[in-house]
Amino acid sequence: MNTFVAGAISGFLATVPMTAAMLGMHRWLPGDDRTRLPPEEITTAAGQAAGRGRWVVEEDERIGWTLASHFGYGAASGALYAPLAKKIPLPRVLGGIVFALGVWAVSYLGWVPATGLMPPATQDTGRRNTLMIASHVVWGAATALLVDRLDRRSGISRR
């Protein structure tokens, strides 16, 4: 199996436990912090930017767009991770977690605020940042394990 394809499949599938962790932790946040999660904020802001104004969609459609973009970003990030995995000089899962923390930093401190889709993570609460970082840790560990599993099935050696 192609390394990028294995990574994309792994990143897509790893978005399932990531999303479950994110939603589970979100329920435990105090009321002030229990606002829309970043994937929904980003998708809504992107929809508004594309429509040059208020993005008017039904809630189920907004959720569909949010899930599509969230899982798509997970797949794209996984495709980037897979070829790098063998170059990260760390144990598999730890390497996946470090990569995922990099994805979080590049996204929530970099391109997302740079595009105006959302303020930087430094302006969010510690609890919400902890939730998002923990969710990315789940994604990174799961992606690393899945890439490794697909590689072993395909006979690709990582180390």
User: Can you spell out the DSSP letters for 125-143?
Assistant: -HHHHHHHHHHHHHHHHHH
Q: Residue 158: what pLDDT? A: 45
Q: Which tokens belong to 72? A: 């798509």
Query: For the residues 22-28, what does the mean pLDDT come to?
Result: 96
CA–CA separation, 153 vs 9, rounded Å?
14
CA–CA separation, 10 vs 41, rounded Å?
24
pLDDT at 156 exceeding the cut of 70:
no
pLDDT in tens, 90-134: 999 999 999 999 999 999 999 999 999 999 999 999 999 999 999
The stretches of 31-91 forming alpha helices (DSSP H) are 38-51, 59-85
Name the band, by pLDDT with cuts 50, 70 and 90, for residue 135.
Answer: very high
Q: Residue 159: what pLDDT? A: 44
Percent of the chain with pLDDT over 90: 81
Q: Residue 151: what pLDDT? A: 81
pLDDT at 42 exceeding the cut of 60:
yes
pTM of the model: 0.91
Give the number of C-alpha atoms closer than 13 A to the C-alpha of residue 99, restricted to the C-beta side.
Answer: 29
Q: Residue 53: what pLDDT? A: 64
CA–CA separation, 10 vs 37, rounded Å?
23
Most confident of 50-59, 63-72, 148-157: 63-72
Q: Residue 1: what pLDDT? A: 79
Percent of the chain with pLDDT over 70: 94
pLDDT at 157 exceeding the cut of 80:
no
